[in-house]
Amino acid sequence: MREKQTCVPPSKTILLVSSMVMLILMSTQLNGQTGVERRTSFDEGWKFFLGDDTTASSPSFNDSKWRVLDLPHDWSIELPFDSTSPTGTGGGALRGGIGWYRKTFTLPASLKGKNFFIDFDGVYMNSEVWLNGRLLGNRPNGYISFRYDLTPLLKFGNEKNVIAVRVNNSQQPNSRWYSGSGIYRNVWLVTAGSVFVEHWGTYITTPQIDNHLAKVAILIRLNNTTTTDKSIVVKTTIFDADNKKIIAASSSLNAKSVEISEVSQQTEITTPHLWAIDDPYLYTAKTEIIDNGKTVDEYTTPFGIRYFRFDVDKGFFLNGKPLKIIGICDHHDLGCLGTAVNTRALQRQLQMLKGMGINGIRTSHNPPAPELLDLADKMGFVVMDEAFDMWKKEKNPYDYHLYWDNWYKIDLRDQVLRDRNHPSVFIWSIGNEIMEQWGGDHGEDTSGRQIARDLAKIIHGLDTTRPITSALNDPSPVNEIYRSGALDLVGFNYNQNEYKNFPKKFPGKKFIATETISSINTRGHYDMPSDSIRRWPANWDKPLENA
């Protein structure tokens, strides 16, 4: 290859040196591993093409003319606003389309024999992923996080690997809100040894808490990918917020060959520091997998210790104290920045909301970016973690209803597994203004009942510590979702006139206002489509014990 000498200005020299240092660090992480899992950012150095080419999945495809970029990336926000866009105003009048991403990378020969995975935090939408020309899989849902196993197809040493991702957001409209397009959340390369903690493989609960003691239960899922059984030790050490060791628990396990095993551990923390809105204190659990005295995997799980309840008459209590949830419905986009995840922008939003007195977030109307929940944990917000904006019945011609039957169980399971250790998450919402609310008065369509029960069963099979709700805009006892019996909290969107009738129409049931006020604004003009802004203060001024 012919070398080319250039004169680089001092400022660019700093950038080049920084880039070289980052590459060296990444190489060191990959080369220097001793079997302990490492998660490395895989965001840098992708190539992108807006358009479709059926041969782009091939490793030999020539992508030299494609644009070079780093992820996360939203291509729709880069396009001109277009009044004829099929996305409509709900989609920001910005077009979708089809886009391709490719990344070429190498791995040192010394890492051969380890397990490698690629984690996508979110791709909108209909993504297909290939490695070295072989299809790994597809994922229609644009909001869910997912993983692929790269191990069987990887090359090592001087041989190059090519990962290709096709994103299809061409069928419009498919969302009622601005979705963005592309690999708009972070991507990670995960390296693990032969025995490791599974993806989202820990579950930490605190079944008993008081001011003197907190019992901590830890469930760990392990994967032994070897051809022999392994006698291993699983050790979990808990650290406080200052990274000081508090206590540890160890278990011995005979991990069966090519199987996933579960380990349950229990320990206690004396005088626990509780997680609260104004004091969001976090602990960390570090789980080590030890084989013949050697740590072969390490997995950390932040968690908080708190307890809460919803009372039929008195409302919400956190750590035994009454608390009014002052919440907002937060869509995943970042306004004029688009949907590409930007942690500082998310943090700034939450800082402004905190300054306004907000303490609750509803993830309208899909699973959020992991960064949002991390920030909510650290900054002190309660979160209603919402799964779906529609079920089998459509709101738009090309929305998630097309994929419901094949994917809802997988997508909901992955959401709960990913998010269930976050202390900020207090409520699971199985849907927003779902069309299956209606239709059962005469027995002609009761599908809403069965679907709600199915969703609740999936959640309760993975997490029994949080209540389930659904944002209903039909505040009637004959609402099919309500009649399912699946809701621990009955949620109303708007319909403030019905609040006073709730105890009579829904005797003994717990209520939460899932959405109360909406506004449309532009350049100082505000339009309130609901009169709820005039109704809410009457309830707001009630003392907590009477709320």
Task: Give the residue numbers annotated as catalytic, written as ranges.
Answer: 433, 515
Cis amide leading into 20 (omega within 30):
no
- What's the token pair of residue 8? 């680089």
Cα→Cα distances 456→416, 426, 439, 449, Å: 11, 15, 21, 11
- Three-state DSSP at 410 gives helix
Tokens of 98: 């089809």
Please, what is the angle between helix 370-379 and helix 343-355, to 10°? 40
CB-based burial label for 326 (10 Å; 0-12, 13-18, 19+): middle
Single-letter amino acid code for the residue at 356: M
What 243-250 contacts at long range (C-beta under 8 Å, 24+ apart), as own/partner pairs, is 243/284, 246/283, 249/218
CA distances from 204 to 72, 266, 290, 366, 381 (A): 30, 10, 20, 24, 19
Contacts for 357 with CB less than 8 Å, ≥ 6 apart: 326
- Identify whether the C-beta of residue 440 lies closer than 8 Å to the C-beta of residue 480: yes
Per DSSP, what are the bridge partners of residue 20?
none
Phi, psi (degrees; rounded to nearest 5) at 478: -90, 5
**Distance between CA atoms of 213 and 208, rounded to whole angstroms?**
8
Which has the closest alpha carbon to 23: 140, 105, 79? 105
CA pair distance 401, 395, nearest whole angstrom:
8
3-state secondary structure of 5: coil
Supply the DSSP symbol for 81: P
CA distance 267 to 208: 11
**Concatenated DSSP letters of 183-216:** S-S-EEEEEE-SEEEEEEEEEEEEEEE-SSEEEE
- φ/ψ of 299, rounded to 5, equals -140, 125
Strands 127-131 and 67-69: unpaired
Per residue in 50-61, is it b (16+ CB within 10 Å) or e — as a string? beeeeebbebeb
Phi, psi (rounded to 5 degrees) for 99: -135, 155
